[in-house]
Structure 1
Amino acid sequence: MSEKEEGMSFLEHLEELRWHLIRAVLAVLVFAILAFVFYDVVFDDIILAPKNADFFTNRMFAQFADLIGVESLKINTQPFQLININMAGQFATHITVSLVIGLIVGFPYLFFEFWRFVRPALYSNEKKHARGSIFYTSFLFALGVLFGYYLITPLSVHFLGSYNVSSQVLNQINLSSYISTVTSIVLASGVIFELPILIFFLSKIGLISPEFLKKYRKHAVVLMLVLSAIITPPDIFSQVLVCLPLLILYEVGISISKRVQKQQAKEFE
């Protein structure tokens, strides 16, 4: 910690935090405004794309289904029409989606501002071990967002959009319901993929260890299955697809925890 930081009062720290938050919010707003302006690309080519047959994932499933001769694996072959039933529904959706896009695209800068605020309080060895945290945190978040968008979203849209309890009941899906489903899945996937980062920090402060993670691996698997069931449609295939990367991330987290433990042991020698 620098002498300047040590001499700062509580109110001065709050003032410093305020400016970091202001810059982070401004960055999100800039990206949100860009998304608002280019709404045709955001909606037609990104948000609404997973429900169309020509979407990348839907085409891959169709090709795989033709290859093995199982037609039931084809998804979103008959895209449904969305409806809006509120006077300000489309405008409100436009603003919501723009803010979500701003948050996702601006996430690296958000974390950068958080890191700039926290970094002066760290010791030199802690700064050394945390080097690259901005890159890895942003990379895992982006990986989770892409995973949610390209895999979970089209599967969920297909299952929920085509599901019916009777031929007498017609699905007329509201725009806000569709947007809520897509954005919640994508954001949840981005957050869940931060699991190795969470394990790293919990290991640093001594709350967990590699032995702890190995001991409760079975419990973790159950928790991952529950999380998969929450963010995916209620079918086994989708849940397994989501659970597999979570299991891989958990095993990566165990390796990270081991590395942290070794580094801390060297420091105490």
Structure 2
Amino acid sequence: MSLAKKGGEVMGQEKEMTLVDHLGDLRKVIIRSLSVVGVALVIGLVVASPLLDYLKAVPPASGIAWNVFSPWDAVGIYMKCALVIALAVSLPYVLHQVWGFVRPGLRPEEQYVALRYIPGAAALFLLGVAFAYFILFPMAYGFTSKMAQRMGLQETYGVIQYFTFMFNIILPTALLFQLPVVVLFLTRLGIVTPSLLRRMRKVAYLALVAIAVLVTPPDFISDFLVAIPLVVLYELSILLSARAYRQQQALEGQAAGENNVSSVQLG
């Protein structure tokens, strides 16, 4: 067997082992994350009952009777509430595990920046949940309730329907609040640039207004109250992207300068 062939086989084995190592690390990340989510789910099962009691005691739920239309409705809503709590509690750890998985492929300065995404993403998620629950959800519920009264309909809500309506508003809004983190991450990867975001500003505004119309009651005030924070988040994303882009350009320029100095010294 030739040396070239042997060398090719050795290189192929090294690449295969590298792939296997990555898959092994990914498996560990998934197992650890699921384990923490499982522990957080136990906490959620304990906290779900007082949380449901709180939600029943505050408007708009305090003014309506919760009904169940199936024997599994009570169990279903209890488990859903516990799962939401578990996801919220375990989110920082899961993000940290994801960061640990991608860390070996990053430069030291990129590792530091990526680690800073974790508290930012968690904070924006909680901010989105708070905005959706305390501002958006009451507006949406009030609108539907007024419509029912105008049509002379008797409002009889099931607990599953109530929470499904609430979660369908809260979760998408919380995810939309991750926009600055996503844009910053894409900027670090070189997929988007600040100039591209500025050129796409009109299209982005139109898309954000369309999203605001979809997740809010069909009245101008609700659309306006939701569209404004989304636009502010987009502008914040542009500022963060511009800062990250400048830092990345400076680092690349510094690295290029060091390479030139090394080349001159070797020459």
Fold match (TM-score > 0.5): yes
Gaps in structure 2 of 5+ consecutive residues = 1-14, 254-267
Query: Partner of 1:188 in structure 2?
Result: 172
Quick check: 1:19 aligned with 2:28?
Answer: yes
Larger C-alpha radius of gyration, 1 or 2?
Answer: 2
Query: Partner of 2:76 in structure 1?
Result: 92
The verdict on how the C-alpha distance between 1:51 and 1:112 changes in structure 2, with shifts beyond 3 A counting, is same
CA contact (8 A) 2:55 2:61 kept: no
Q: Which AA in structure 2 matches 1:13? A: H
Overall identity of the aligned pairs, in %: 28
CA contact (8 A) 2:127 2:174 kept: yes
Query: Partner of 2:133 in structure 1?
Result: 149
> Per the alignment, in what secondary structure is the counterpart of residue 238 of structure 2?
helix
The verdict on how the C-alpha distance between 1:231 and 1:167 changes in structure 2, with shifts beyond 3 A counting, is closer
- Equivalent of residue 43 in structure 2, options 17, 22, 34: 34
Distance 1:254 1:229 in 2: 23
Question: When the two structures are superposed, what TM-score results if normalisation uses the length of structure 1?
Answer: 0.81
- The alignment's C-alpha RMSD in Å is 2.3
Question: When the two structures are superposed, what TM-score results if normalisation uses the length of structure 2?
Answer: 0.81
> Per the alignment, in what secondary structure is the counterpart of residue 130 of structure 1?
helix
Query: Partner of 2:234 in structure 1?
Result: 250
Query: Partner of 1:175 in structure 2?
Result: 159
The structure where helix makes up a greater share of residues is 2
The verdict on how the C-alpha distance between 1:223 and 1:47 changes in structure 2, with shifts beyond 3 A counting, is farther
1:142-177 Cα deviation digits (max 9, x unpaired): 111111121112222222234227644212112111
Tell me the CA shift for residue 220 of structure 1.
1.0
Distance 1:42 1:32 in 2: 14
The verdict on how the C-alpha distance between 1:167 and 1:254 changes in structure 2, with shifts beyond 3 A counting, is closer
CA contact (8 A) 1:50 1:153 kept: no
Of structures 1 and 2, the one scoring higher in RCO (CA 8 A, sep 6+) is: 1
Query: Partner of 1:49 in structure 2?
Result: 58
Gaps in structure 1 of 5+ consecutive residues = 1-5, 54-78
The verdict on how the C-alpha distance between 1:22 and 1:162 changes in structure 2, with shifts beyond 3 A counting, is farther
1:165-208 Cα deviation digits (max 9, x unpaired): 76442121121111112122222122111111111122222222
Q: 1:68-87 counterparts in 2 under 5 A?
A: 79-87=63-71
Distance 2:34 2:186 in 1: 27
Quick check: 1:216 aligned with 2:225?
Answer: no
CA contact (8 A) 1:153 1:185 kept: yes
Q: Which AA in structure 1 matches 2:19? A: F
Q: Which AA in structure 1 matches 2:156? A: Q
Tell me the CA shift for residue 131 of structure 1.
4.1
Tell me the CA shift for residue 107 of structure 1.
1.2
